[in-house]
A and B are shown apart, each in its own frame.
Chain A
């Protein structure tokens, strides 16, 4: 039961009602789900003769039914109690037909005799759709398509509210339009700039200064995005999912209002709903922010080169944008209120930042903007930014062509009528709390993706959650989305890939004395000839000594960190331990034997292999000693 005797603070009533109000709410939701999902739902006990008679009745009518045998489930007594709250009936069998409470055995038989039962059974589902998904991003589309594959009638509502600067885009959500896809492509453009510089050292000959053209890049990227928007639309059509480019808003239970661009309103109903409206960049709420600043929603389709840019914030969005803007040759400053990459391993975050700093990105630490003023019009124009120190009464000013806000994201949940049907959101963040099956407090309403409270804001997670949700709702599956050991990569100029726990979090959970941290600096082979810096790329793994030295955190800072991290994430899924890591052979080239000077070797090498050798190289090092260079 929920509380231990020694810890009990108040006297509980006798019987099975030791349920906390939270657990009770959870159970109620589960039961309502069963009632909603099944044409005939019988709560019974396996030995009860009345229950048996009712089942035989439905069988004789050729009607499928679902049962929950209260004597065969662990929390049967609690179920019975909550059922009695819902129905005022404590006995079994307790029968629902098409969501209507029939009562017990006698009343069911009476209804059968009077014809009421047949009438109830005949009642067709009156909803327009089996499922309406609000939001056509990664999670929403994945869920809608999977449900359609499972034979359900599905609708997707997607509508992009233009940014204060007027930017708007097509189907596919943040990732495709204003997130991962354009970001990675601009990152690639910046990497190519580095490759061009390197290439001279490798014998490629050209003399002139190579300039970058923002418009050519942006047009090429937008063309690619356009093709993706189109293919998403096509894919929905192929799977017979109805798509409406309309804004969805709940008006009453099971009913939604869809408003299109022209303002025309249409109403649709559905048995189930999935909220996948995602999030949009936050504004500072200071003078001039909405008028003059842009966000990542605007940057990737900006029709002109942003010029000298101030990036406000230190989220991964901020650092990624600052990184590629600097990489294509722009003058970039990042204004940071407190720490870099909150939530990520802070040692890694600082290394990400210092690499950027060494490569020309300026950082203004512990400042926040208080005002943005327009000095000159133009594309880009000129803006004056006034900022104040977070520590002293100091104020500074700067002039930039573009101010990019990347201070976090706000869930798009406050204007979709959730209050009309009673879906709870977190007052502060606007996010939607769900249980482990992505169900909100309203049983027929689910949510996936960035709107979820306490979950990860990552495309592949939303896709996985959406797919699994559809399979559970319509495919008889019970597999839940696992949010543990999800890998991710920050595409800063030096990429940072990670999976599992940060060092801080690991210490918090497992205590420092139970952890061993193995780490190494490395010098990618390709960097040697290019004359790029040594002692910059870095990797560490965090192992739980108490659990067979299992790897609980993996962090790598280096080229292609995303490609490297993916496989290690798969290995962590398989429970990789330090021992197995040591036993796995690296891939060539690299003889991890090219060490210079120091004893335990920070040499150049193909980095995944180098990492595998971490254990042998560094096993003599004390925990977290980071001074292993001579």
Chain B
């Protein structure tokens, strides 16, 4: 209640201050460089902690440090996308990632529920159209309320916020440049880099940059993207293609090699099978050669089929690139501070304490080399880093057994090792895989196909058969996976999971009833109750 009301009030307030741009609180009023330089020269930095990047990791770190009594500043600036899309405070997750993605995924799921409803006795019309603009406006308004919420929180915790583009002057001083070109120098004892990443454009392809969009734009479109080509096999590509299909759009996914690289490949195949059987078109083993705008403003895409060498072409309203992300480190002038990056990935090299090659400069989140690109990981890493910096704790972030969920039409949740990885680490003879195809109860009456609802648990074969990985494909996979991730964190063995009594009737209970091993060759289809 409080928050809904608050949201409304805040939305009204936004009218006064303009959409996302906030006046910096710092005295960056006069022209030229001001601020930190003087005090830094005098040996006393402006801040205990300066965080570059106001995304999930950066904000968590800044707020935690401020709460522990430190003087903290956050510098955040969103470079508009090539299509001109920009957004407010909160980073990828809030603005162009998980939040709008999950909401649009939910809109698509609701479409499926409308389809189910007549089976359950609801007199819903046969064809229910979807209004993109209405959904997008609701999603965007919600995201804007979150932007505001983040600002308020920083203020409450007395964290200084600068809407400026940051770059290093030296290892203790950062230059901030506002949109209007005004500069401020900020110095700090500790600096955390949390600038995240942005979608990669395949600029080598003719027309890619001019005519394509990315996930930075899709959630902010005011009009429906129409017939869409999604290029890439990443989870971003499949999630976007999934909800676009679910909202009734003609959607094609073009993948050069494999979908969901890094994830368990059997699960990945099932994810795409389900999508294909629910209307998403897949072009496998293809790569785009050119994108041209036709006089009727449609986009003509020409591609090459890698195996045959042949060519294909089709027209689309929208081409969405989802071919990976690049760490946002280019414009930071890291060399001036002496911070080392991996020249290939452009990511910042860090140690277990998140420290870079410069001991008082740290990097967390998507911009740090070798870390999972996940919001909750960044948040926890940021918070733990702040606690260590403030002498509150010595705990290091544990990057093992991080659960995650891909919100494709049939959701895929996993934690721990993929089957391939388990076999690579321990050898096929030492790994036991328990698996099952199951049918969610709700699918029966709705006459939905459950061919891809599948679970597998990867264990060490030697007693007590510790669980190495859990993979769940089905409705509410995120909710299902979360608790089991806790169990795996506690060192769950196969027997412990089997001794857990099920909750009937749920999908999650199937995890506690996995009896068939892959090795046995028996049919893993669940029958009966």
Write the residues of chain A forming the contact surface with B, with a CB cutoff of 8 angstroms: 138, 172, 175-176, 180-181, 184-185, 188-189, 192-193, 195-196, 198-199, 201-206, 208, 210-218, 220-221, 224, 228, 231-232, 235, 328, 458-461, 463-464, 482, 486-489, 497, 523, 525-526, 528-529, 531, 533-535, 560, 562-571, 573-576, 580-581, 583-599, 602-604, 606-609, 612, 616, 629-630
Contact = CB atoms under 8 A, between A and B. Distances in A.
B60 interface: yes
A232 B484 contact: no
Contacts, number: 344
A213 B501 contact: no
9 contacts: A192-B113, A192-B120, A203-B130, A210-B117, A567-B482, A585-B403, A590-B375, A606-B478, A607-B479
A563 B444 contact: no
Nearest to B125: A206
B482 A212 contact: no
A531 B124 CA distance: 22
Interface in B490-529: 490-492, 496-497, 499-509, 511-512, 527-529
Interface of B: 1-4, 6-7, 10, 56, 59-60, 63, 90, 93-94, 97-99, 101-103, 106-107, 110-111, 113-114, 116-125, 128-136, 138-139, 142, 146, 149-150, 152-153, 156, 247, 374-377, 379-380, 383, 398, 402-405, 413, 441-442, 444-445, 476, 478-487, 489-492, 496-497, 499-509, 511-512, 527-529
B497 A570 contact: yes
Nearest to A173: B529
Contact of A212 (B122, B492, B500, B507): B122
What are the 8 tightest A-B residue pairs by CB atom distance, in nearest-first order? A567-B483, A589-B98, A203-B135, A217-B121, A566-B508, A608-B482, A571-B486, A574-B490
A565 B485 contact: no
Contact of B376 (A210, A231, A568, A586): A586
Contacts of B117: 192-193, 195-196, 210
B416 to A, nearest CB: 12
A178 to B, nearest CB: 14
A204 B111 contact: yes
Contacts of A206: 124-125, 128
A201 B101 CA distance: 16
Nearest to B101: A589
Given A203-B134, A567-B484, A606-B478, A594 B146 contact: yes
B240 to A, nearest CB: 14
Given A563-B479, A563-B506, 4 more contacts: A566-B509, A568-B483, A587-B482, A593-B59
A591 B101 CA distance: 13
A372 to B, nearest CB: 28
A273 B152 CA distance: 68
Nearest to B137: A203
A232 B56 contact: no
Which of B94, B405, B500, B511: most chain A CB closer than 10 A?
Answer: B500
Nearest to A566: B508
A15 B97 CA distance: 76
Nearest to B98: A589
A199 B149 CA distance: 26
Contacts of B152: 596-597
Contact of A202 (B101, B138, B403, B413): B138
A176 B529 contact: yes
A592 B375 CA distance: 10
Contacts of B444: 185, 224
B122 A210 contact: yes
Given A228-B528, A585-B380, A528 B142 contact: yes
Contacts of B487: 567, 570-571, 573-574, 576
Contacts of B149: 594-596, 603
A219 B413 CA distance: 34
A461 B482 contact: no
B119 A580 contact: no
Nearest to A200: B134
A409 B444 CA distance: 29
A600 B107 CA distance: 30
Nearest to A577: B490
Contact of B1 (A526, A534, A565): A534
Contacts of B10: 596
A217 B116 CA distance: 11
Contacts of A487: 500-501, 503
A534 B3 CA distance: 7
Given A563-B506, A567-B485, A574-B487, A204 B500 contact: no
Contacts of A221: 445
Contacts of B131: 203-205
Nearest to A464: B501
Contact of A210 (B124, B506, B512, B527): B124
